Structure 1
Amino acid sequence: MTTAESSYLRRGVRLPVTEGLLLLVAVFWGTSYGLTKSALLYTSVLVFIAIRFSITFLSILPVVIRDFRRGLNQDWSIAIPTGFILSAIFLCEVFGVAQTSASNAAFLISLSVILTAFAELVINKKRVSNTLLVLTLCSVVGVLLLTSKQGFELSLNRGDYLILTAALLRAVMVTSTKRFTEGKKITTSTLTCLQSLVVALVALLAAWGYLPSSEFVLPVEQEFWLIVAYLVLFCTLFAFYVQNYAVRKTSPTRVSLLMGSEPLFGALFAMLWLQESLSALQLVGGGLILVSVVVTSVREN
């Protein structure tokens, strides 16, 4: 085998690590809606968000302190505005999930995929390629089919509008993170940690001013803390670290498209774990998402 052939083969079988991590995030996020609903049986939305992100902040803080001592975070302040955007996302998303169905939430939040393409154009002045735009539309149609159990009728309530707002804010989040962090000295750990701190503080302040003191208590049920542990470790700490890492390596639309496959993994989780069945139309939708994800994962940026 020649050197040229060997080099070609190495390129051809290169494992898309970033894409694989994003798909893993989608897997975890696909399980998060039902778990969040379960956690909200024990406490309020604001206390739940405050607990989740406080633990996330404390978990990664030792690494961030080390990074500051090494002089790796000269531009740490750029994390603050994205933290406020993330706060708005979770307030809308968790309040929305509490007031709508899981299928509606899955479809509406997936609209962040196509909204990110427009946000890239407006915020970063960068046009999305025609191929990526087609894959984005394919993914959105797939999610619509996957989450449609009784035709295509979708009546929106207040929870649905909150989820739709969260989808728009997700698009703003990934594009703004790309713009703010480009060429800046801040580690991904620090970016994730400071974002979590901002979300926790916003939720605490909102809870302090909004909730009566009788509701501002920590749950004692073991199930609640097991759910929180899972959500913190896999759906918050790991997920947002990967998102922040990936958006600095590739385009925001590509990141959103891969993470937007979460309804597919949520449906697979329901089939395997909860023994739920899918209709033929839902299977077609899942297939469209799968095609979009596979093509996006293997194509060049």
Structure 2
Amino acid sequence: MSIRVGSVPQGLLRASDVAMILVAIVWGSSYGVAKSALVFYPVLGFLAVRFILTFALLLPSVLRASARQQRDAIRTGLPLGALMLAIFLCETFGVANTQASNAAFLISLCVVFTPFVEWSMERVRPPRAMFLFAGVSLAGALLLSGGLSGTLGFGDCLMLAAALLRAITVCQTSRLTRGSTAPALVLTAVQAAVVGFGSLGLAVLAFDGLPALPAEAAFWQSTAYLVLGCTLFAFYVQNWALRHSSPSRVALLTSSEPVFGALFAVFWLGESLSVAGWLGGGLMVLAALWACAR
């Protein structure tokens, strides 16, 4: 017999926790992979390729869905896809206009914003422990990134906006998918279509089109990993997990993403990490595991 936490069976809660930590691992590795792909193609073009390919792979699941499921997916996926497009634009151009340490720290503020956004939208105060976990995770992010350098510039403001948009997206996903009949794969397909075709439209408006697709194998290998792992798997799991867990809990678990990004950079790209960085990463993982244990 399964134990229930609120309205969620304990077994599903634990499964969603493990799934979101896996998402954090995959997303953490995405920064280095995406950086290598962007050597060959501009940002908007790469986003268009990545997400239109994702939509094409998921199109059969959309066609197999019932008319009601398709309507629910469009009703939910259009606003969530627009939020995701805004996040990708803010993150991408934010990173280009600020220091990497600033970007890593500011995007981690999502874990602090989410409980307050959830409180505002749902009118339900998250457990006090969630604020404590968020504080520990933020302290870890401060150590891992080296903190904020200098005054807030344009790129820093974009990263702050991305962190807030992430918090809003997590809460909106939880709210909009409640009672929806749309399968997670169909919802992911609609979101991918909005991001992919939105990026393509912006590229046409801003640059009168895009250059020819690159022929280099490294570009397509990176794209395949990001499409299959960081988009198909990660978005599907997040959409599923938010039906079985709270937005604050999901945000806390995925806040360990910079830790896995740093580990990927150390062991795969050969970069180094300071003692403070290792300590900060440990705190962020500890906060996520602490939340799982409750």
Partner secondary structure for residue 153 of structure 1: coil
Provide the C-alpha distance between the structure 2 equivalents of 1:202 and 1:81, rounded to a whole number of angstroms: 12
**TM-score, L = length of structure 2:** 0.90
Aligned to 1:46: 44
**Match in the other structure for 1:24:** 22
* Aligned-residue CA RMSD (Å): 2.4
Larger radius of gyration: 1
The aligned counterpart of 1:285 is: 280
In percent, how many aligned pairs have the same letter?
Answer: 46
1:75 paired residue number: 72
Report Cα offsets for 1:145-179 as digits up to 9, x if no partner.
0111xx76354443332222111111110101111
1:238 to 211, 220, 233: 233
How many Å apart are 1:92 and its aligned residue?
1.1
User: What amino acid does structure 1 have at the position aligned with 2:234?
Assistant: A
* Shift, 1:12, TM fit: 9.8
For the Cα contact (< 8 Å) 1:52–1:231, is it kept in 2? yes
Query: Superposed, which structure 2 residues align to 1:1-301 within 5 Å?
Result: 16-68=14-66, 72-76=69-73, 77-148=75-146, 153-213=149-209, 215-299=210-294
Amino acid at match of 1:180: L
Is the contact made by 1:37 and 1:98 (CA closer than 8 Å) also made in structure 2? Answer: no
Distance 1:294 1:236 in 2: 24
Deviations 1:38-61 (A, max 9, x none): 222212111111111001111111
> For the structure 1 residues 261 and 123, does the alpha-carbon distance in structure 2 shift closer, same or farther, using more than 3 Å as the test?
same
Cα distance in 2, alignment partners of residues 292 and 268 from structure 1 = 17
- In 1, the alpha carbon distance for the partners of 2:63 and 2:70 equals 10
What is the distance in 2 between the residues matched to 1:118 and 1:92? 21
TM-score by length of 1: 0.88
2-side partners of 1:75 and 1:228: how far apart?
29
- Range with greater deviation from structure 2 (278-287 or 87-96): 278-287
Q: Give the letter aligned to residue 222 of structure 1.
A: A
SS at match of 1:16: helix
Distance in 2, Cα, partners of 1:241 & 1:138:
28
* Structure 1: 5+ residue stretches without partners: none
Is the 1:207–1:216 contact (alpha carbons within 8 Å) kept by the matching residues of 2? no
Q: Residues 15, 112 of structure 1: CA spacing in aligned structure 2 closer, same or farther, 3 A cutoff?
A: closer
Unaligned runs of 5+ residues in structure 2 are 4-8
